[in-house]
């Protein structure tokens, strides 16, 4: 049986699949050529990340396709229910990248409160001639310890974010339409741990009381955070979106940054990927990464292995 990992897959995943007798290709096929490639090469399993889309036309045209796999959590680039209605297995790896995304959230938070995103832009330009000016510009940082982190979406990733926040001494409040309360297990290097029970609250309450806000929700039909929600927040709040582009109204975000309602934003996802708005990219109060939440070696190894295990279980049973 043949597997096409169109957006790549880790070597650990390739090894597991090949050991089970699968033929694995990591050729990157252009979207418009994908249907022909799958049919001509009799591909049984298509694995994607976020670059490749799997819509009804491909599902209808590729009769031989048995499994569609998404390396990651969100599956908004796949017509999941339609594929399943046509007898295709659709799989993903909801837990494999949670820790990596959570750590990226804190990379943005730590950088934001100490202006690293802006300092790293300006030090190469003016560090040798305006050192004292820059020192003064970036001299009013704040600590995360003791502050309140509001988590919108308290699934796997939201809880991983909570673990880090609790570990550095933050208060955690959370909102989730489907989770009433959750136990968060904070583990330490020597085997010790503590369990912290967190009850979720209405989102408006979280927005009003949080010093920093991070979003961990799937793509929505409407904005989760728009002008109305920004108006509820504390002045000088920090906000991070490492979830999906389009959950924050970026026009409202830029306005909130310019009027001081939002002190800084950390964005890993954007409304118009892969062509983010210039007004966002050029804003000095925005810390930017190009949708790399799950892009760590450890997460990709877990994703590859987890996908391989699921594929083997479905097709070799």
User: Concatenated DSSP letters for 51-78?
Assistant: SS-B-HHHHHH-TT--EEEESSS--TTB
Annotated catalytic, 89?
no
Cβ 130 vs Cβ 195: under 8 Å? no
- Of 108, 117, 291, 302, catalytic: 291
Alpha-carbon 6 to chain mean position: 20
- Of 70, 117, 244, 285, catalytic: 244
Closest CA to 151 of 224, 93, 231, 251: 224
Those residues with Cβ within 8 angstroms of residue 36's Cβ, 6 or more apart along the chain or in another chain: none
d(CA 60, CA 81): 13
Annotated catalytic, 273?
yes
Query: 102 phi and psi, to 5 degrees?
Result: -60, -40
Those residues with Cβ within 8 angstroms of residue 110's Cβ, 6 or more apart along the chain or in another chain: 116, 144
d(CA 301, CA 24): 16
Q: Which residues are catalytic?
A: 244, 273, 291
């Amino acid at each position: 049986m043949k597997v096409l990992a169109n957006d790549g897959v880790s070597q650990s995943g390739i090894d597991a699949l090949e050991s089970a007798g699968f033929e694995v290709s990591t050729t990157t096929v252009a979207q418009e050529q994908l249907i022909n490639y799958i049919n001509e090469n009799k591909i049984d399993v298509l694995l994607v990340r976020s670059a490749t889309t799997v819509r009804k036309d491909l599902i209808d045209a590729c009769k031989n396709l048995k499994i569609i796999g998404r390396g990651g959590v969100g599956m908004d680039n796949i017509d999941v229910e339609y594929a399943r209605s046509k007898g295709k297995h659709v799989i993903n790896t909801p837990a494999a990248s949670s820790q990596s995304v959570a750590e990226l959230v804190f990379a943005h938070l730590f950088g934001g409160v100490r202006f690293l995103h802006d300092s790293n832009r300006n030090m190469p330009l003016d560090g040798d001639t305006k050192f004292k000016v820059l020192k003064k510009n970036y001299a009013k940082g704040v600590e995360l310890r003791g502050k309140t982190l509001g988590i919108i979406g308290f699934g796997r990733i939201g809880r991983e974010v909570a673990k880090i926040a609790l570990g550095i001494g933050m208060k955690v409040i959370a909102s989730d339409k489907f989770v009433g309360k959750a136990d968060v297990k904070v583990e330490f290097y020597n085997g010790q741990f503590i369990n912290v029970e967190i009850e979720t609250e209405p989102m408006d309450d979280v927005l009003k009381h949080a010093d920093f806000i991070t979003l961990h929700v799937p793509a929505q039909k409407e904005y989760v955070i728009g002008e109305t929600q920004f108006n509820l927040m504390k002045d000088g709040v920090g906000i991070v979106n490492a979830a999906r582009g389009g959950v924050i109204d970026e026009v409202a975000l830029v306005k909130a940054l310019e009027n001081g309602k939002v002190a800084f934003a950390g964005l890993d996802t954007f409304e118009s990927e892969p062509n983010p708005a210039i007004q966002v990219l050029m804003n000095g109060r925005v810390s930017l990464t190009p949708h790399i939440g799950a892009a760590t070696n450890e997460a990709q190894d877990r994703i590859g292995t987890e996908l391989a295990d699921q594929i083997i279980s479905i097709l070799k049973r």
